[in-house]
Each structure stands twice: as structure tokens, then as C-alpha cells.
Structure 1
Amino acid sequence: MTTTQDFATYIAGLPRVLAGAAALFRDAEGRVLLVEPNYRDGWALPGGTIESDDGETPRQGARRETAEEIGLDVPLGRLLAVDWVAGTDRPPLVAYLYDGGVLGEEDLKAIRLQEEELLSWRLVPREELAEYLPGALGRRVLAGLDVLADGSGTAELENGHRVG
């Protein structure tokens, strides 16, 4: 039998993994809503880091981040993809991607950016996504769109590539 101290030592020695969650929103034309962060180069989806210290789940984290970043607090749909993204200068990331649904004109007018983190937002057609979202994130978004289009189950990804 192990003591509480042994268990704490065991837990402290486990590898660390980051967890993030995002929402995939589209408009009636199928364009994807992207946001432009001010703290790094490039574009992203509304979403961010899951606050595990608060016991937040990935779904709760995606909804909270969406509400904070773009001012839309809407229930999220199904889980579209889970992506294991290796890290070179950080621990590995597990990224959850949820269906944010189709936004109507009123929803788009209601978007209010979190000025502390975001510069702008835009709607991007599928064929232009790779220009805005390179690497694993771009592949993850395309996999999510494929899941929505073909009605298949959740996509299991590693660095944005389908596995299994």
C-alpha cells in the first residue's frame, strides 16, 4: 500500500500535457470564423486553454473562451475532433474541437472582440483556410469540416493528421 506522500510523488513525476478547446463556427455560406490574436502571429479559432485548476471540462472551456473572446455564449454542438499535438518547446497539447454551429446575420453583428487578446475576426472559405491556419491547426479545422460534411464520428488526430 502506498502512502499519501508516495502518491503525491508519483503524480508530481507524471509527464505534463496542455489541454485546449475551440469552437468551429461557420456562416450560411460555410465560411469559418477565425480570430486574429494580438499576442502571437497568425490566426486561430475562438478558444483557448482549459482551466483545469477550476475543474473545467474541455466543453466548458471552449464555451467560456468563446464568450470571453467574441462575446457569443452559445451551447456548443458535438465534439468534432481530438488532436494530439507534439511540442518541441512546450509539453504536448491535447486540442478539442467542438461544433459551434452556423451563425446568422444577427449573431455576426453581435460579435464583440476581447480587445486584450484579439485584433480582428473574419470569415474564411475552406479553400483559403491553409493560408490562415498552417500546420496542425489548419488540418484539424479541415478534419472538423469533413466530419460535419459526412456525418462521421469524432476525428482522432495526431498533429492534425487522421489516425486509427
Structure 2
Amino acid sequence: MRDPRLLAKPPVCRLGCLVLVRNQCGDVLLVDPDYMDGLILPGGAARPNEPPHLAAARHLRAETGLNLRLTEVIAVDFTPADRYLERLNLVFDGGTVPDHVRLTVPPQHKSGLLGARFVPTHELPHHMAPAQAARAAEALANRSLPVLLHGQRAA
């Protein structure tokens, strides 16, 4: 039985769905948004009731042209409210893509991105804000957890 009081005013919290993709050299794929300083992992917010792995895949495809199946989470990061609503960020393992993979970043006026590129792991702190670099480093160091939807592994 559903308690209507639980759904009357759900808490506000954005769900960030990010992807860590590496090339065969181990470099990490980052995108360059025009709305903030530094590079970030590709991804973005999930829509209401959108499964997070599908949201991450949607953003990755839109930002880089990569179409990857995402089934494992490698980091969870809670970010308290500052400029945005408080949010929970899930980092999905995008695996390794061939070095010759072609990235297709939409024009800046449509995507808000200045570009995308692979960055060596030891250079991440020089290209990312401290919290973003720490999130990427933790994701690189962790073992994955399966994505579950209603207790079942996501397809």
C-alpha cells in the first residue's frame, strides 16, 4: 500500500549520471563545458523517473557520439547544494574504447561544450576542479557495483 504522504512532496535532489571512459592508453575522456572552468566527465542530470544508466548513456551519446552500454557504477558522490540543487552523482564505468575512436561533439551553440578529449590520468588534477578530479580518481580506483532496477540487473 502506498502512503500518499510520502509522495505529496518528494525531496528535491538532482541525480547526476556521469561516465568514465578510457582509451587503450588509460587516458580519461573529459568534456569542456562553456559554462564552467575546467574539464569534467561526460554526463548530466537524469530526467524524472529516467533510469540513471540510461541517462548517463544518453548524455554520453549526445556529448561525444559514443554509444556505450552502461551497467556498472564505480563511484557515488553526494554534492551539497551550492549553485545547483543538492544532488547525488553516479559515475558509470564506460570501459575502454579503441584509440582510433572518433568523438563527435555537437556545435557549442547546441551542446554548451567547447570540445572533448582524452587526458592522461596523472594530468587530471591540472585540467579539472579539485572535487571533479577527486571524483574521477576515486572512480578509477574502485571496483564496480551492478546497476539494479527493482532488484534486477539492468539490461
Q: TM-score by structure 1 length?
A: 0.77
Alignment partner, residue 60 of structure 1 = 54
Q: How far does the alpha carbon of each residue in 1:35-54 deviate from its partner, in whole angstroms, 9 at most, with x for none?
A: 111233221111001111xx
Does the Cα contact within 8 Å between 2:29 and 2:119 map onto a contact in 1?
A: yes
Q: Which runs of 5+ in 1 are unaligned?
A: 155-164
Aligned to 2:118: 123
Q: Distance in 1 between matches of 2:131 and 2:8?
A: 29
Higher helix share: 1
2:95 & 2:3 partners in 1: Cα distance?
48
CA distance in 2, matches of 1:133, 1:93: 19
Once residues 133 and 119 of structure 1 are traced to their aligned partners in structure 2, the CA distance between those partners, rounded to angstroms, is 15
2:106 corresponds to 1:114: yes
The letter for the 1-side match of 2:40 is A
SS at match of 1:87: coil
Q: Identical aligned pairs, as a percentage? A: 29
Q: Which residue of 1 aligns with 2:20?
A: 24
Q: After superposition, what is the alpha-carbon deviation per residue over 1:102-144, rounded to whole angstroms, capped at 9, x for unaligned? A: 110342x2x1102222111121111110111223221111001
Contact 1:27 1:102 in 2 (8 A): yes
* Structure 1 residues 1-164: aligned runs within 5 Å: 7=5, 11-12=8-9, 14-52=10-48, 55-107=49-101, 109=102, 111-115=103-107, 116=110, 117-147=112-142, 152-154=143-145
The residue that corresponds to 2:152 in the other structure is none
Q: Do 2:72 and 2:144's aligned partners in 1 also have CA atoms closer than 8 Å?
A: no
Preserved CA contact (<8 Å) 2:25 2:99: no
CA contact (8 A) 2:37 2:129 kept: no
Question: Residues 11 and 138 (structure 1 numbering): CA distance in 2 closer, same or farther, change over 3 Å?
Answer: farther
Deviation of the 1:153 alpha carbon:
4.8
Instruction: Compute the TM-score of the two structures, normalised by the length of structure 2.
Output: 0.81
Q: How many residues align?
A: 141
Backbone CA RMSD of aligned residues? 2.1
Structure 2: state its 5+ residue gaps. Answer: 146-155
Alpha-carbon distance between aligned partners in 1 of 2:34 and 2:132, rounded to the nearest angstrom: 18
CA gap of 1:86–1:135, structure 2 versus 1, over 3 A, is farther
Q: What letter matches 2:104 in structure 1?
A: R
For the residue of structure 2 that corresponds to 1:105, the secondary structure is coil
Shift of 1:77: 4.2
